[in-house]
Structure 1
Amino acid sequence: MRWPDGTEADCYSPSLVIQDYFSPGQDYPVREFLEKADTALTQASERVRARYGFPCSRALGQLRAIRQASVPFLTHPDAQVRVLSFRS
């Protein structure tokens, strides 16, 4: 993904559910991106819990990192996050 300041970051999801919420090459307003990331990564973590009996700490850690990285952009209503690609 690419933040509004041009910084790029790789993000982790233990589940392909992330692809239900984001499309490569698509821009998302920061707040919308955060809402979608919260829903998708929480859902991914819950899928791990259902299968293995515990939540996915990596997915939840990724969500915390996204929330933290988004803070500088929340006061800019036109700021966009671009999803660059998915890797398996």
Structure 2
Amino acid sequence: MPETTWTVRWPDGSEEALYSPSSVVAELFTPGESYPLDDFLTRARIAMERASGRVAKKYGFACSSAMAQLDAIEARVPTYAAQDGATVVCLSITH
């Protein structure tokens, strides 16, 4: 269960490195691909919930870091909701 950093470019052009305790993000995101906000958020939720679940299965407790990352994503996405056609670009995924 390798820790993974995935870097995204938000609709305002800023880039951010995001954390996952698992490589599951590579199952849901592809470097170089753009995702509409709703799709990005859905994929991020699935990824972080699966990652936390994998940690729970291995160690017996959920991953608070994955859930904190999801909270941060959920807090940021609404700031771009008013922008028509806003997308988030997955720039890279590193294990």
TM-score calculated relative to the size of structure 1: 0.96
| One-letter amino acid of the counterpart of residue 27, structure 1 | S
2:64 to 45, 50, 57: 57
CA RMSD, Structure 1 to Structure 2 (Å) = 0.8
Q: Runs in 1 of length 4+ with deviation above 2 angstroms?
A: none
What is the CA-CA distance between 1:40 and the residue it aligns to? 0.8
Report if aligned partners of 1:44, 1:59 keep a CA contact under 8 Å in 2.
Answer: yes
> Aligned partner of 2:14: which letter?
T
- Stretches of structure 1 that go unaligned for 5 or more consecutive residues are none
| Structure 2: gaps (5+ residues) | 1-7
Whose strand fraction is larger, Structure 1's or Structure 2's? 2
Residue 85 (structure 2) pairs with residue 78 (structure 1): yes
1:68 aligned counterpart, secondary structure = helix
- Give identity over the alignment, percent: 43
Letter in 1 for 2:48: L
Tell me the TM-score normalised to structure 2 length.
Answer: 0.89
